[in-house]
Amino acid sequence: MTGTKTAAKKTVIVTRKLTAAVERRLARDYAPVLNATDEVYAPARIVALAREAKADALLVAATDNVGSEVIEALPASVKAIATFSVGYNHIDIAGCKRRGICVTYTPDVLTDATADLTMLLMLGAARRAAEGERMLRNGEWTGWAPTQLLGTHVTGKILGILGMGRIGRAFAKRARGFDMKIHYANRTRLTPDLEHGAVFHDDAEAMLAVVDILSINCPATPETTRFLDARRIALMKDGAIVVNSARGAIIDDRALIGALRAGKLAAAGLDVFDREPLLDETYRTLPNTFLLPHLGSATVETRDGMGNKCVDNLDAFFAGRAPPDRLV
């Protein structure tokens, strides 16, 4: 733990190690209590640090449990929480509202990086990239062969996007470069200028039946948790591909694994998992999975941008202005 409180600077508990540029900015403008080892703090530790430092704010991440037990136990000195994420289901928003704690998040800045990563997941799964790399690394490649590692040609295929928010729309833009036909399911239909000719489905299950590739880009909510279960997978085309760069909880792991094993689905590209960093061990053994460790926003530019957005929001709040990305 590093950082000292000064009379002139607000104290911010920073729960994860951030990029050097963001930590320098925090050190310049605040009295940050930094996490030098990047350990994931237990809820009680977050509360203890806030009390010990008489913190004015928290800068948390999606890995932190900032639920009701934390919010209720925070000292009255804490007036703002900035989360280093777009998702905010790790925070008790209702509790913050009751206590008058401002909560901000980081929309927009990670859109392109996550959309790029989603494209990587789709191509990696469709073209059996993980199998090919393992073959090379294990010294098993004996040369080119006409039927070796035949994958799925994505150009011209029907892509279904579950959740057409910023990231879903950015991914659709990239997919159009592959001449893919875009279908989407969303809570509401987009305006024509945002839809760009994509086919809207007000019933997500109806969309599943027509797509060759399904990309999950919606937030995790009570309505979307375990959305992709065995019944809905059965609605999909044989040989379809599933991609998830949103939240692991949206997929029923056992159902997806069963479909991959049985050949109902050709492949899956996954960057997120339920109960991260744990994942169902079976995923590791399946040859038709392309797996990444939650790299969606993992570029220097994006992580700098996320951190700076957090600090921008804190700057605005403590200056008496409306934070640009305020949730409550």
- DSSP sequence for 276-309: TT---THHHH-TTEEE-SS-TT-SHHHHHHHHHH
Determine which one of 16, 294, 321, 326 is catalytic.
Answer: 294
Query: Strands 240-244 and 265-270: what pairing?
Result: parallel
d(CA 26, CA 20): 10
What is the rounded CA–CA span in Å between residue 49 and residue 60? 13
**Residues 309, 306: Cα–Cα separation, whole Å:** 5
- H/E stretch holding 201: strand 199-201
247, 275, 284, 326: the catalytic one is 247
* Cβ–Cβ < 8 Å for 256, 231: no
- Please report the DSSP string for 93-134 in residue order: HHHHHHHT-EEE---STTHHHHHHHHHHHHHHHHTTHHHHHH
Distance CA 63, CA 65 (A): 7
Q: DSSP string spanning 19-58?
A: -HHHHHHHHHHSEEEB-TT-PPPPHHHHHHHHHHHT-SEE
Active site annotation includes 294: yes
The residues pairing with 220 across neighbouring beta strands, listed in sequence order, are: none
Catalytic residue among 99, 174, 276, 326: 276
As a whole number of angstroms, the longest Cα–Cα distance in the chain is 71
Please tell me the distance from the alpha carbon of residue 59 to that of residue 232, in angstroms, as a whole number: 38
Taking 3-state DSSP, the helix, strand and coil percentages for the chain, each rounded to the nearest 5, stand at 35, 20, 45
Q: At what angle do helices 111-126 and 300-318 cross, to 10 degrees?
A: 150
Q: Are strands 213-216 and 31-33 parallel, antiparallel or unpaired?
A: unpaired
Cα 82 to Cα 9, 35, 38, 74, 293, distances in angstroms: 17, 16, 17, 15, 24
Active site residues: 247, 276, 294
